[in-house]
Amino acid sequence: MKPRLPRHRDQRGVVILWMAFLILTLLGCVALGVDVAKLMATRSQLQNAADAAALAGASALDPATYTIQPGLAKQRAFYTAGQNKAYEMVTTPVQLDTANDVFVDNVAHTVRVIVRREAGAPIISHFAQVVGWTSMQARAEATARVDSAGSVCRNLVPLAVEPEDEDDDFVAGCAYTYRIKEGGGSGFQGKYGAVEFPLCPDGPCAGMSPTGANTLRCLLENGYGCCVQELACLPAKSGNNSGPVKQAIEARFARDTDQRPDICYEQYTGNGARVLYVPITSEIEDGCYTVQRFGAFFVKRIPGNGNQNFITAEFINATAPGGGGGPGGGSVFALRLIK
């Protein structure tokens, strides 16, 4: 008689249960990942909005007193934040509470902005709601500072601008516009107002040759990474360079939060990308321009091609010859994010 083998229960049902549990766990991880990705994307969107709003707020500077006007700063920050979007259930404009989210410090010359997706307008989760996680919160903040004369030289663009008459000077205000770069056919001996800066190891255009169309485009778009001293002799750059000039100004418009053409600077609510800091020079002599001081100009529109490749701008302010700076000193100002 053969011995009876032990009987085992059928295990197939247990395997099905384990597979079901594993699938549910994987689905839960995927669902959580979707909502976490939405949270991270929202934080990035909020940071962009905060950066733009802080720069716009800091642009509300009274150049005569070197003070930021709080009311105008909050207005510009509010408008600029609203041009950006961040997720709630879907992407919606970012709204600031100017009383609690915008802070002006005229001692440090800064504007700090906080943008939020918190109580009242949180991020609505999708899949995480099945476990009771119905909403998420995020915030971002940025601080922009206004710098005067000393640091402006690190933002210069390679253009030489001179008053039309030795006895005249540039006049601020919307009623006056200036060509700070000439178009084809209106230059002087093949020169159209562009200059060559010395080789610089710093900034977005670091190490680029002082000559060449690509260097001109990069510097006009991003600014010079080194300083230029008064009385420096800047070699005149030959050629109209229509393409690089237009591309650079188009890039500045594209990253500005206020892209409206032909507006006055007092109407402008952007982040400063359309403000160019340029050397104000004497007339060209022996192939170079001599730097007298520095000025800030607001670009009115994107230049055209060829003969229409001139840059039209509104004068904002300038340094006094021989330096200066500080309240009432005729300083040039630059905006930058510090946090």
Task: Indicate if 116 and 158 belong to the same structural domain.
Answer: no
> Higher-confidence residue: 119 or 259?
259
Task: Indicate if 118 and 244 belong to the same structural domain.
Answer: no
pLDDT for the residue 330: 43
Is this structure's pTM higher than 0.85?
no
Task: Indicate if 135 and 53 belong to the same structural domain.
Answer: yes
Task: Indicate if 298 and 333 belong to the same structural domain.
Answer: yes
State the total domains in the chain.
Answer: 2
Task: Indicate if 235 and 284 belong to the same structural domain.
Answer: yes
* Sequence-separated (6 or more) residues with CB below 8 Å from residue 291: 228, 229, 230, 231, 232, 233, 234, 279, 280, 281
- Determine, yes or no, domain membership for 1: no
Local structure of 271: helix, strand or coil: coil
Task: Indicate if 137 and 59 belong to the same structural domain.
Answer: yes
Task: Indicate if 219 and 281 belong to the same structural domain.
Answer: yes
- Determine, yes or no, domain membership for 5: no
Please state, in angstroms and rounded to a whole number, the distance separating the CA atoms of residues 289 and 152.
19
Q: What percent of the chain has pLDDT over 90?
A: 39
- Determine, yes or no, domain membership for 293: yes
- Determine, yes or no, domain membership for 37: yes
* Residue 93, both tokens: 């404009």
Task: Indicate if 194 and 316 belong to the same structural domain.
Answer: yes
- Determine, yes or no, domain membership for 3: no
- Determine, yes or no, domain membership for 112: yes
- Mean pLDDT, the chain, whole residue set: 82
Question: Which range (18-22, 46-50, 125-129, 148-152) has the least confidence?
Answer: 148-152
pLDDT digits (tens, 9 = 90+) for 262-318: 999 888 888 888 999 999 998 888 889 999 888 889 999 999 998 899 999 999 888
pLDDT digits (tens, 9 = 90+) for 46-102: 999 999 999 889 888 876 677 899 999 999 999 999 999 988 888 889 989 888 999
Please state, in angstroms and rounded to a whole number, the distance separating the CA atoms of residues 303 and 183.
9
Final residue of a structural domain among 146, 168, 194: 146
Give residue 315's identity as a one-letter amino acid code: F
Task: Indicate if 162 and 98 belong to the same structural domain.
Answer: no
Task: Indicate if 230 and 259 belong to the same structural domain.
Answer: yes
Cα separations in angstroms, 58 against 106, 146, 148, 339? 10, 6, 13, 13
pLDDT for the residue 79: 92
- Determine, yes or no, domain membership for 6: no
Domain, as residue range, for 21: 13-146
Task: Indicate if 30 and 170 belong to the same structural domain.
Answer: no
Residue 9 scores a pLDDT above 60: no
- Determine, yes or no, domain membership for 305: yes
Final residue of a structural domain among 146, 164, 179: 146
Residue 326 scores a pLDDT above 80: no
pLDDT digits (tens, 9 = 90+) for 242-253: 999 999 999 999
Q: Which of 197, 176, 187 has the alpha carbon at shortest distance from 265?
A: 176
Task: Indicate if 267 and 321 belong to the same structural domain.
Answer: yes
Residue 331 scores a pLDDT above 60: no
